């Protein structure tokens, strides 16, 4: 049964108090048609005794009675049962006292003797309506409190579900990132394991490009894309015959040079299914575009991704130093002089100027906190890509070491009789688990 149904079934109680029996009988006859439980008593003391036993909704009292007067009775009712609707019957002689009682808040209504029966009924109904409204208000407050408690419970439950789902989503994203990182590692290893493509050259280009990107104040995310794009910059060569790229570029025939440059389209085609590598693919595709718009696609400078402009400078610097362009290795100074000839034509002048004016930018990065495998702890973070002697990528920068990866490195060292010098982040060392 609902609270509303219970409220509707309440039998309201009316108490009438008068020392004259004929008045009580007259009241009883007048209220015959009213659907209430009527209690009749002849003194204020008896009225208070009744009210101790049951809830009285409306009390009607004569004003002038021996012993306790109506005003005194209703004053006690107001003090102990403030929700009870209080009505006084008064004669003309009692009017001043009655008005005083009204003003003091002890009674709600007064009726003058002799009363009109309909007015008496209307007064009682008014009192009951006030009681009903108060009961309904109490019920609604109780219901609201209950609903608020349930809502709070639902919200807490929902918050727990959201937290759980958030953890699940984050875990799923981490798994995706790990799979993507694994895919990226595999792509570089495919290049490095090819005997006709130099993995060491790719590492040098990637490191130089990363420094250029940092000095150009590229964002961390953009720099990571550039770093990786330069690491697999020659990925498209996997689709060519070795004779089209193994000799120095200036030693190739015109058709072989065209085939060599077609590596960019091959890389784009191969990487097309990997949507998350789209930015990397764009860098590879446009890496041979000229800054002045005279390249294959005739792109203006603003259409060439900054990563492609950085790759062009870093790539050709190391191609010149390693002899991959002319067949004869150049000194770093000679390579810079040659690159400068093509400033703002083939190469972006802003990128090239950083290479030309930054001392030792082409030197390997020596990072503090280099440890042996035995010194590694779970939780340490790899701050530099870890390669084997064949320039195969074993662990990528940012890898968080676990007991499993440390054990695998130790096993690799035993099997290959080679010991790693591992660069880790300082924060990673401080936060790592000390076992």
Domain ranges of the chain: 3-138, 196-365, 367-435
pLDDT attached to residue 117: 92
367-435: CATH superfamily: Molybdopterin biosynthesis moea protein, domain 2 (3.90.105.10)
Q: What fold, for 196-365?
A: Hypothetical protein af1432 (1.10.3210)
CA angle 259, 265, 267 (to 5 degrees): 105
pLDDT at 173: 64
pTM: 0.54
Angle, in degrees to the nearest 10, between helices 306-322 and 349-357:
50
Domain 3-138: homologous superfamily in CATH:
Response regulator (3.40.50.2300)
Long-range contacts of 412-421 (CB under 8 A, 24+ apart): 412/388, 413/373, 416/388, 416/389, 418/388, 418/389, 419/372, 419/373, 420/372, 420/373, 420/386, 421/370, 421/371, 421/372
Parts of the chain with a pLDDT under 70: 1-9, 92-94, 103-105, 173, 176-184, 364-369, 426-435
pLDDT score recorded for residue 182:
67
- Segment 87-99, tens digit of pLDDT: 988 876 667 777 7
- pLDDT value of residue 367: 40
With both helix axes pointing from N to C terminus, report the angle between 349-357 and 332-340 in degrees, rounded to the nearest 10: 150
Q: What percent of the chain has pLDDT over 70?
A: 90
């Amino acid at each position: 049964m609902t609270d509303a149904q219970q409220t509707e079934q309440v039998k309201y109680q009316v108490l009438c108090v008068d020392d004259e029996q004929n008045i009580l009988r007259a009241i009883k006859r007048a209220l015959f048609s009213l659907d209430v439980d009527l209690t009749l008593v002849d003194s204020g003391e008896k009225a208070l005794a009744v009210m101790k036993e049951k809830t009285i909704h409306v009390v009607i009292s004569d004003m002038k009675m021996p012993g306790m007067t109506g005003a005194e009775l209703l004053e006690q009712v107001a003090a102990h049962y403030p929700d009870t609707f209080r009505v006084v019957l008064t004669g003309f002689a009692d009017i001043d006292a009655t008005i005083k009682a009204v003003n003091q808040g002890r009674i709600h209504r007064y009726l003058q003797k002799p009363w009109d029966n309909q007015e008496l009924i209307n007064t009682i109904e008014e009192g009951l309506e006030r009681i009903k409204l108060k009961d309904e208000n109490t019920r609604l407050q109780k219901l609201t409190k209950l609903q608020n408690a349930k809502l709070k419970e639902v919200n807490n439950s929902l918050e727990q579900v959201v937290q759980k789902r958030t953890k699940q989503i984050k875990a799923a994203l981490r798994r995706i990132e790990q799979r993507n990182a694994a895919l990226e590692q595999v792509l570089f290893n495919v290049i490095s394991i090819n005997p006709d493509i130099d993995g060491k050259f790719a590492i040098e280009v990637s490191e130089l490009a990363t420094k250029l990107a940092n000095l150009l104040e590229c964002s961390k995310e953009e720099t990571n894309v550039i770093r990786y794009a330069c690491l697999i910059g020659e990925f498209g060569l996997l689709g060519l015959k070795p004779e089209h790229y193994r000799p120095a570029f200036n030693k190739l025939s015109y058709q072989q040079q065209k085939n060599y440059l077609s590596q960019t389209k091959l890389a784009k085609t191969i990487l097309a299914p990997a949507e998350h590598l789209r930015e990397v693919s764009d860098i590879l595709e446009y890496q041979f575009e000229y800054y002045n718009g005279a390249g294959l696609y005739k792109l203006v400078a603003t259409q060439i991704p900054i990563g492609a402009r950085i790759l062009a400078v870093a790539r050709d610097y190391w191609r010149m130093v390693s002899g991959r362009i002319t067949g004869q290795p150049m000194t770093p100074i000679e390579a810079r002089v040659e690159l400068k000839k093509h400033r703002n034509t083939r190469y972006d002048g802003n990128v090239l100027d950083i290479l030309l004016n930054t001392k030792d930018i082409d030197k390997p990065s020596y990072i503090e906190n280099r440890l042996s495998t035995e010194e590694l702890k779970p939780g340490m973070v790899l701050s530099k890509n870890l390669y084997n002697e064949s320039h195969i990528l074993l662990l990528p920068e940012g890898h968080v070491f676990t007991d499993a990866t440390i054990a695998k490195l130790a096993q690799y060292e035993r099997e290959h009789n080679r010991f790693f010098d591992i660069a880790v982040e300082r924060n990673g060392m401080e936060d790592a688990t000390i076992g």
